Chains A and B, each alone.
Chain A
């Protein structure tokens, strides 16, 4: 089974800090995604990557950037954390074939104070 590992389950950061959220997969999946999940809004796509060094903006990229230097690792970066970025962040991967199933990480609950 594919395993998707997010480096932290819970994280508390201060406003203005630079925050790195890491996601690592142990299979050779092409696509990796970062979502945030907020009550009443469901999961919303921040960024995704379909190959090393390739990235595309999702629906809510503002305030975020990403890095994919190796196929197995996809990092989400909050350049200057703000309180409205307090959320649950979920990483996901899929094989890159249309209609193939997704695998999600266990999530990182980030609180910005």
Chain B
């Protein structure tokens, strides 16, 4: 069983919709990462957080340490947001454990 569970696995949305992707993990962590992978493979780090909330443009990441849960929100979604979004966690080491990703497609 993967230690990091993401939901949903696939998500389609109309341009402008508010999008939420969820990530749950099984034990206490030192940090949680949200990553974005576009077709072609390259991965970009979006957020790294260990508590609270971070915002960058239309992207918001939150984490609830007690519930072992994080969400990635995209406001006013756009077709260029179409990508795979990956949650990953670290446990006081430099190694990451990855979820299997959420494939998002935003249609105009």
A42 touches B48 (CB 8 A): no
Residues 88-113 of A at the B interface (beta carbon under 8 Å) = 88, 90, 92, 94, 96, 98-107, 109
B45 touches A99 (CB 8 A): no
Q: How large is the interface on B (under 10, 10 to 19, 20 to 34, 35 or more residues)?
A: 20 to 34
- For the complex, what is the distance from the CA of A106 to the CA of B100, rounded to whole Å? 18
A96 touches B95 (CB 8 A): no
B43 touches A98 (CB 8 A): no
Q: Does B52 contact A (CB under 8 A)?
A: no
* Given A99-B48, A104-B42: A42 touches B99 (CB 8 Å cut-off): yes
B94 touches A41 (CB 8 A): no
How far apart are A105's CB and chain B's nearest CB, in angstroms? Answer: 7
Q: Does A50 contact B (CB under 8 A)?
A: yes
* Given A98-B30, A99-B48: A104 touches B43 (CB 8 Å cut-off): yes
Q: In the complex, how many residue pairs between chain A and chain B have their CB atoms under 8 Å apart?
A: 65
Q: Does B76 contact A (CB under 8 A)?
A: no
Per-residue CB proximity of A7-42 to B under 8 Å, as 1/0?
001000000000000000000000101000100111
For the complex of A and B, the 7 pairs showing the least CB-CB separation, nearest first, are A107-B41, A104-B43, A106-B42, A42-B100, A99-B31, A43-B98, A42-B98
A interface residues with partner B (beta carbon < 8 Å): 9, 31, 33, 37, 40-45, 48, 50, 58, 88, 90, 92, 94, 96, 98-107, 109
Q: List 20 A-B contacts (CB under 8 A).
A: A9-B40, A31-B94, A42-B4, A42-B98, A42-B99, A42-B101, A43-B96, A45-B95, A48-B95, A90-B43, A98-B30, A98-B31, A99-B48, A99-B50, A102-B33, A102-B45, A103-B45, A106-B42, A107-B40, A107-B42
